[in-house]
A = this chain, B = another copy of it.
Amino acid sequence: MNIGFIGLGIMGTPMAANLVRAGHTVVGYDVSTTRLDELAELGAKAAASIGEAVSQAHVVITMLPDSPQVEEVVFGEGGVLEYAPAGLLLIDMSTIRPETSRRVAQAAAVKGVHAIDAPVSGGEKGAVDGTLSIMIGGRTEDVESAREILRVLGTTIVHVGPAGAGQTVKAANQLVVGGVYALVAEAIVLLEASGVDPKAGLDVLAGGLAGSRILELKRHSMIERSFQPGFRIDLHHKDMGIATAAAREAGVALPMTALVAQLIAAARAQGHGALDHSALLKVIERINS
């Protein structure tokens, strides 16, 4: 299939490579020309403009930093909707605001373009290995027609609702992940301040109702204060901005989410943006020292 791929960053590049490897014809575009140069090695073609990446495509995938870039690439002058052939399937896999995804889907429909939102979790490793989890919002027929391609990129592929729903589920995921890190951080600080061995303590927690994937994977590295990413605080900060905005758009107050967002913002303000999100522990420690 002819696939236009826009946004060839940390995630987009290995995803595009996997699509090439699966036999698809991939035409890539990125504002950064250095990234385009890498494309040839992948066996993909470099487009000089969005139009070039889009006009012959059956499917366009976007993997961009945030809502404003998606708006620009999709709605902007010389953007996707200007060049989209009728019947194009547009899969936005960026993590952005649900409300933006809904507006993309509506504007696309007007032009006869089928748009779905399909944000991912699993990180760079998942992108490289083709084992991402993909949460999809959109119309059922569009989601079905995307499955073949998405199966190249990920292993868990779930249709969770109408346009924007993929983003909302991703936002919900990130608020829970951030929150669990903050709770584990507070548990560690309490144990250590009380003279209790945190390793023994967290082992007990991990084995019971307090157990979680985070405790399983990260309790040892957290206790050792090893915060190599993994998933960076900067990205989680962006995602908490989306979660907060999504709550606001949905008209709901979420006090835990709001507090988690502040703690992650604090991690960033303290200069830990490039560390793993488990570095929330540094924030709880700093509050107390």
Q: Does A193 contact B (CB under 8 A)?
A: yes
Given the known A-B contacts A250-B190, A269-B288, are A213 and B205 also in contact in the complex, defined by CB atoms under 8 Å? no
How far does the Cβ of A236 sit from chain B's closest Cβ, in whole Å? 11
Residue pair A248, B265 in contact (C-beta under 8 Å): yes
Residues of B within 8 A of A110 (CB): none
Minimal Cβ-Cβ distance residue in B for A231: B209
Which residue from B135, B177, B196 sits with its C-beta under 8 Å from A161? B196
In the bound complex, residues from chain B placing their C-beta under 8 Å from that of A211 are 212-213
- Name the B residues within 8 Å of A135 (CB-CB): 201, 204
The chain B residue sitting closest to A160, CB to CB, is: B200
The oligomer's copy count stands at 4
- For A176, the chain B residues whose CB sits under 8 A away are 180, 183-184, 187, 205, 210
Whether the Cβ atoms of A169 and B196 lie closer than 8 Å is yes
Q: How far is the CA of A233 from the CA of B211 in the complex (A)?
A: 19
A255 interface neighbour in B121, B246, B262, Cβ under 8 Å:
B262
Residues of B within 8 A of A204 (CB): 133, 135, 156, 158, 160, 169, 173
The residue from B162, B182, B189, B208 contacting A213, defined by CB atoms under 8 A apart: B208
A161, B195: Cβ atoms closer than 8 Å: yes
A268 within 8 A of B: yes
- By the criterion CB–CB under 8 Å, are B165 and A195 in contact? yes
| Given A121-B209, A172-B205, A210-B213: A183 in contact with B179 (beta carbons within 8 A) | yes
Of all A-B residue pairs in the complex, the 9 with the closest CB atoms, nearest first, are A212-B212, A253-B265, A253-B266, A193-B250, A172-B187, A179-B183, A176-B210, A211-B213, A269-B288
Judged by a CB distance under 8 angstroms, whether A256 is at the interface is yes
Q: Which of A191-205 contact B (CB under 8 A)?
A: 191, 193-197, 200-201, 203-205
Q: Taking CB as reference atom, which chain B residue is nearest A134?
A: B204
Quick check: is A32 within 8 A (CB to CB) of the other chain?
no
Q: Are B270 and A259 within 8 A (Cβ)?
A: no
Most buried by B among A212, A253, A289: A253
**Known contacts A201-B172, A203-B158: does B286 contact A190 (CB below 8 Å)?**
no
Alpha-carbon distance A160/B198, docked complex (angstroms): 8
New contact pairs (9) apart from A190-B250, A266-B288, CB-CB < 8 Å = A98-B194, A133-B204, A175-B187, A176-B210, A193-B247, A208-B213, A253-B263, A255-B263, A255-B287
- Chain B CB within 8 A of A139 CB: no
Contact A183 B180 (CB under 8 A): yes
A251 at the interface (CB under 8 A from B): yes
Report yes or no: A173 in contact with B210, Cβ–Cβ below 8 A. yes
Known interface pairs A179-B183, A203-B158, A204-B133; A253-B241 also in contact (CB < 8 Å): no
Task: State the Cβ distance, A29 to closest chain B Cβ, in Å.
Answer: 27
